């Protein structure tokens, strides 16, 4: 085993006390570690075993009959194996999430139906349940946005319908009590014989009007009819004006209530969506943990990843070795 390469690793931390409180130089440290490995391999493994790779640990297999050496080898290999498997699974998990199928709603529901129902299924409405079962997580999130927009529009429409129903009921009540519009009677005016309108008219001996006089009567009747039509048109115009004004006043009266209803509906919809989104994120987090912990063995071939060096992360291995070193150091202090 090359002690010099071990000391040169960026994550390596020397646990040898330096002379007079000063750390050893690289060459002197290598010499001391070589001596320590030969004189006390158990202590060497205790201090630096966390920085060794699996092939480097095998150099101590010939000393495994020694209780302390054997104990350290088992501890280090178990820890390294568990950490390596979890790191490889994490790397593969990133690929699964990128592809989408493994973490689609349909796939997650198959792997954990009760968990799915607890976090998502019991809150799903008919529109959400109608989605394709094989849609990916990203597709579902985009679809949820469309569903929520539809929900908001429906709530606003319901509020508007309620306001319109209230307005119609008020209008019906006003009609029952009269609308307060007073206009002239539009019945045609009848001019009796001998009235002041035609006092000069005379009749023949037989009691009939002369032709000229009859034309004059017809002209006066046309004039009266035209006046009645004008009055009727003015009455209708006034009626329309008052109705329009009442509609404007009614809209102005209910506008604040409609706006408040719309704001309340939007607020409730936003709160509900935030709650559902939070539950979905928690559900996905739990499903990720299930995969990393090996709980999906009925649906996934773990050995294909656990035994595959392609998913090794050398930087992560260095960090894990450093964490093990600190854990060992804490145990010694205790």
Per-residue pLDDT of 135-150, as tens digits, reads 555 555 555 565 666 6
pLDDT score of 313 more than 80: no
pLDDT of residue 325: 47
Position 198 confidence tier, pLDDT thresholds 50, 70, 90: very low
- How many whole angstroms separate alpha carbon 87 and alpha carbon 306? 9
Are the CB atoms for 181 and 238 separated by under 8 Å? yes
**Separation between Cα atoms, residue 320 and residue 51, nearest integer Å:** 9
Confidence of residue 55 (pLDDT cuts 50, 70, 90): confident
Provide φ and ψ at 241, rounded to 5°.
Answer: -60, -45
pLDDT at residue 173 above 60?
no
Average pLDDT for residues 5-24, to the nearest whole number? 77
**∠ Cα 117 87 79 (to 5°):** 110
Separation in Å, CA 113 to CA 125, 137, 183, 245, 302: 17, 16, 74, 60, 21
3-state SS assignment for residue 203: strand
Question: What mean pLDDT comes out for the span 117-121?
Answer: 90
Q: 201 to each of 14, 82, 188, 214, 321, how far by Cα in Å?
A: 138, 126, 21, 9, 129
End-to-end CA, the chain: 31
pTM: 0.44
Helix, strand, or coil here: 209?
strand
State residue 145's pLDDT score.
62
Residue 326 has pLDDT above 80, yes or no: no
Which range scores top for mean pLDDT: 40-54, 113-127, 245-259?
A: 40-54
Query: Picking from 84-93, 246-255, 269-278, which range would have the lowest pLDDT averaged per residue?
Result: 246-255
Return the top range by mean pLDDT from 224-228, 280-284, 308-312.
280-284
Q: Among the listed ranges 47-51, 116-120, 248-252, which one has the minimum average pLDDT value?
A: 248-252
Is it the case that residue 175 has pLDDT exceeding 80? no
pLDDT(314) > 60: no
User: Under a CB-based contact definition with an 8 Å cutoff, are residues 140 and 105 in contact?
Assistant: yes
Helix axes 67-99, 41-48, angle to 10 degrees: 30
pLDDT in the model for residue 285: 94
Q: How far is CA 226 from the centre of its chain?
A: 69
Contact 269, 182 (CB under 8 A): no
Amino acid 1: pLDDT: 76
For residues 210-215, give the mean pLDDT: 66
Of the given ranges (33-37, 85-89, 198-202, 282-286), which has the lowest mean pLDDT?
198-202
Assign 8 a pLDDT band (cuts: 50, 70, 90).
confident
Higher-scoring residue by pLDDT: 139, 257:
257
| 65, 39 Cβ separation under 8 angstroms | no
Q: How confident is the model at residue 188 (pLDDT cuts 50, 70, 90)?
A: very low
Q: Rounded to whole angstroms, what are the CA distances from 11 to 22, 49, 78?
A: 20, 13, 21
φ, ψ at 209 (rounded to 5°): -75, 150
CA angle 190, 193, 195 (to 5 degrees): 80
User: What is the rounded distance in angstroms from the CA atom of residue 217 to the CA atom of residue 207?
Assistant: 15
Strands (E), 110-232: none
Instruction: Give residue 323's pLDDT.
Output: 60
pLDDT value at 307 more than 60: yes
Tell me what the mean pLDDT of segment 144-164 comes to: 66
Q: How much is the pLDDT for 159?
A: 66
- Dihedral of CA atoms 108, 110, 113, 117 in degrees, nearest 10, equals 50
pLDDT-above-70 percentage for the chain: 65
Return all residues near 181 (Cβ < 8 A) that are at least 6 apart: 238, 239, 242
């Amino acid at each position: 085993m090359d002690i010099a390469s071990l000391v040169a690793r960026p994550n390596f931390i020397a646990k040898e006390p330096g002379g007079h409180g000063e750390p050893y130089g690289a060459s002197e440290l290598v010499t001391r570690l070589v001596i320590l490995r030969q004189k006390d391999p158990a202590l060497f493994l205790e201090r630096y075993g966390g920085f060794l790779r699996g092939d480097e640990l095998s150099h101590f297999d010939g000393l495994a009959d020694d209780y302390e050496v054997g104990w350290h080898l088992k501890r280090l290999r178990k820890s390294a194996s568990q950490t390596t498997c979890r790191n490889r699974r994490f790397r593969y998990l990133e690929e699964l999430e990128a592809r989408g199928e493994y973490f689609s709603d349909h796939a997650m529901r198959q792997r954990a139906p009760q968990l799915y129902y607890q976090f998502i299924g019991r809150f799903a409405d008919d529109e959400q349940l109608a989605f394709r079962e094989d849609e990916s997580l990203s597709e579902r999130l985009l679809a949820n946005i469309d569903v929520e927009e539809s929900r908001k529009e429906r709530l606003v429409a319901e509020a508007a319908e309620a306001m319109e129903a209230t307005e119609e009921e008020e209008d019906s009540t006003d009609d029952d009590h009269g609308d307060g519009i007073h206009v002239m009677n539009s019945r045609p005016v009848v001019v009796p014989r001998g009235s002041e309108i035609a006092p000069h008219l005379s009749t023949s001996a037989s009691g009939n009007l002369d032709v000229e006089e009859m034309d004059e009567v017809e002209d006066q009747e046309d004039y009266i009819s035209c006046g009645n039509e004008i009055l009727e048109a003015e009455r209708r115009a006034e009626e329309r004006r008052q109705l329009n004004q009442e509609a404007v006043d009614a809209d102005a009266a209910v506008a604040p209530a409609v706006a408040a209803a719309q704001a309340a509906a939007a607020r409730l919809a936003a709160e509900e969506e935030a709650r559902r989104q939070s539950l979905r994120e928690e559900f996905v987090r739990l499903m990720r943990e299930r995969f990393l912990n090996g709980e999906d063995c009925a649906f996934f071939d773990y050995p294909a990843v656990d035994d595959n060096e392609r998913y090794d992360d050398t930087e992560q291995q260095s960090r894990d070795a450093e964490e093990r070193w600190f854990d060992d150091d804490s145990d010694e202090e205790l």
